[in-house]
Amino acid sequence: MPPRILELRKKVLKKNDELARELRQRFVETDVTVINLVSSPGAGKTTLLFRILTALQQADFQSLAVVGDLATDNDARQLARSGVPVRQITTDGYCHLEADMVAGHIHDWDLASSDFLFIENVGNLVCPATYDLGESLRVVLHSVPEGEDKPLKYPKLFNTADVAVITKIDLAAVCEFDPQTVRENIQSVRPGMRVFELSAKTGDGMHQWLEFLKEFRTTTQTKSEIRIPESETNSSATNGRKK
Ligand SMILES: Nc1nc2c(ncn2[C@@H]2O[C@H](COP(=O)(O)OP(=O)(O)OP(=O)(O)O)[C@@H](O)[C@H]2O)c(=O)[nH]1
Ligand SMILES: [Mg+2]
C-alpha cells in the first residue's frame, strides 16, 4: 500500500515551495532583505533580535519583524519595545513557520520602504529546516548551554542554513563549552559555513555580527538571486539602505 501520509506531505511541501518562490519574488522586487532565524527553543533568538532591531534602527535602517510561536505573543511584545513594527504568528500547534503564515501576516506591510524583514521561526531543531519562507538568508543559532554536538545530531538545520551564530558565549566558561569543537562540528556538516560568536547579554561579538548584516544588505543581492533562476525574475534589487 503506498504511504498516503507521505504523499500528503509531499503535496504540502510542494505548495509551500511554490508560495515561498512567490514570496521571494516579492522580496526581490521590493528590495527587502529577509532573514530567517532558526534554532532550538530558548537559544536566544528573541534576545538577539531585539538587539539587532534596536541597533539597526539607530543606524537608520528600516526593519520589520514577524515571530512564530506555538502559543503566546510574549516574543512580539518584547520585540515591539524596539519601536519596530512586529507581528506575532501563533501557529497553534505547528512546530515551524510555513510560507503562507508569513505571507498572511505581512501582506499589508510596505516592504518597499523597509531594508530588513526578520522572521523569528518557532524554536525547533528539526521542522523549520524543511520549510522555505522565501528568505534571503537563513541563520541558525546554537547556544552555548546546548553543548557542542547539536550540529552532528541535527545536521539538516545546519545544512540548510547560510550562517551560524553561537549565542550566549558569556556562559562558555561555566558550561565548559569548547567553541573550537562546535566550529569543527559545524564545518563537518556544512563545510565553509561562516560562524559568529556573540553574547546578546554582554554585547561581545555584536559589532562583528551587525557589520555582517549591514554588509550583507549593502553588498549582496542576497541568496534570492542564487535561488531564483534568471528566467523567473528580471529584478535587480538595489543595494543599501532605504531613506
Ligand atoms: N547568559 C545569556 N543568556 C541569554 C543570552 N541570550 C538570551 N539569553 C537568555 O536565554 C533565555 C531564552 O532567550 P530567548 O531570546 O527568549 O530565546 P528564544 O530562542 O527566542 O526562545 P523561543 O522563542 O522560546 O524559542 C532568556 O532567559 C534569555 O535572557 C545571552 O547572550 N547570554
Ligand atoms: Mg523567541
Name the strand (E) or helix (H) holding 182. Answer: helix 179-189
The whole-number pLDDT of residue 12 equals: 78
Tell me if 155 sits within 8 A of 189, measured CB to CB.
Answer: yes
From atom 8 of ligand 1, which residue's Cα is the shortest distance away?
Answer: 44
From atom 27 of ligand 1, which residue's Cα is the shortest distance away?
Answer: 42
> What cell was used for 170?
558569556
The whole-number pLDDT of residue 237 equals: 37
Return the domain boundaries, the chain: 2-219
pLDDT in tens, the chain (243 residues): 656 666 777 777 899 999 999 999 999 999 999 999 999 999 999 999 999 999 999 999 999 999 999 999 999 999 999 999 999 999 989 999 999 999 999 999 999 999 999 999 999 999 999 999 999 999 999 999 999 999 999 999 999 999 999 999 999 999 999 999 999 999 999 999 999 999 999 999 999 999 999 999 987 654 444 444 333 433 333 345 665
The whole-number pLDDT of residue 3 equals: 64
Tell me if 194 sits within 8 A of 166, measured CB to CB.
Answer: no
The whole-number pLDDT of residue 190 equals: 95
Task: Provide residues with CB under 6 Å of ligand 1.
Answer: 39, 41-47, 75, 123, 167-168, 170-171, 199-201
Compute, in angstroms, the gap from residue 40 CA to the centroid of ligand 1.
10
Q: Which atom of ligand 1 lies nearest, measured to the CA of 40?
A: 25
CATH classification number, 2-219, choose in 3.90.70.10, 3.40.718.10, 3.90.1150.10, 3.40.50.300: 3.40.50.300
Compute, in angstroms, the gap from residue 42 CA to the centroid of ligand 1.
5
> What cell was used for 116?
530588513
Question: What is the value of pTM for the model shown?
Answer: 0.90
Compute, in angstroms, the gap from residue 201 CA to the centroid of ligand 1.
9
From the CB of residue 42, how many other CB atoms can be counted at a distance below 10 Å?
13
Compute, in angstroms, the gap from residue 64 CA to the centroid of ligand 1.
20
Round to whole Å and give the CA distance between 232 and 25: 8
